[in-house]
Amino acid sequence: MKMLENKWALVTGSSRGIGQQIAWGLAGRGCNIIVHGRERQNLDATLAGLKAYPVQTAIATGELASAAGVAQVIEQASAAPGPVDILYNNAAVQARSESILTIDQAEWNRVFQINVWALMALCQAFAPGMRARGYGRIINLTSGIADQPNLAVYSVSKAAVDKYSRDLAAEFKGENVLVNYLDPGWLQTDLGGKNAWFPVETVLPGALVPALLEDNGPTGRFFSAMDFKYLEK
């Protein structure tokens, strides 16, 4: 049974890595996909993979590093043939490694713009439509990073994502707009590095669990993709 058939999902940062895997996984369950990347040419591999599934696709391009770029993504995603029913806020950047005592304001601003402010703007853009339609799934990617003060900017940005997700879930309590946050695990991606514990493909099927929740299911919860990595894809 394809629970997501005819739904539309926007997956930020889906030109490669975790976002690409999520896009392909959703398409395998009948979900139409809005693929996002900074530039159009970066999306070819993901779009090629989506051809294996009988779903519709659309494209949204733009840098999440600026308010103008975020607005461009929202405009293009809003022009897709269907409304955004599922939002995966996957795109993120790592912080540079340095002493927590010397991190400057510019580095906090750079990371928070993409990891937090852009995520919030996308939620604000698409959650009201979900409310109006009585259906929505928002999945904000977080991290299990801990005890690495040299990467405090990244870890604090993800802590902000967790708290924002819980507060947004409370806003939509009882309205079937489920907001949850997902730790994909330490994966072999450009961000995770080649020494990470697991290949990127192991993010499935766990990364899809928050999108597959039944109506009025759990919200404001933490999910770990690795808890489900031994299940069938």
Q: In angstroms, how far is CA 197 from the centroid of its own chain?
A: 21
Active site residue 164: no
DSSP state, residue 197:
S
Upper half-sphere CA count for residue 5 (Cβ side, 13 Å): 4
Distances (CA, A) of 220 to 7, 44, 63, 216: 22, 34, 28, 12
Instruction: Report whether 115 contacts 142 (CB < 8 A).
Output: no
Instruction: Report whether 124 contacts 136 (CB < 8 A).
Output: no
Residue 112 one-letter amino acid:
F
Find the catalytic residue in 53, 88, 135, 154: 154
Q: Of 56, 62, 63, which Cα lies nearest the Cα of 76? A: 62
What torsion do the CA atoms of 55, 60, 63, 64 make, to the nearest 10 degrees? -70
CA distance linking residue 186 with residue 195, whole number of Å? 9
Active site (catalytic) residues: 154
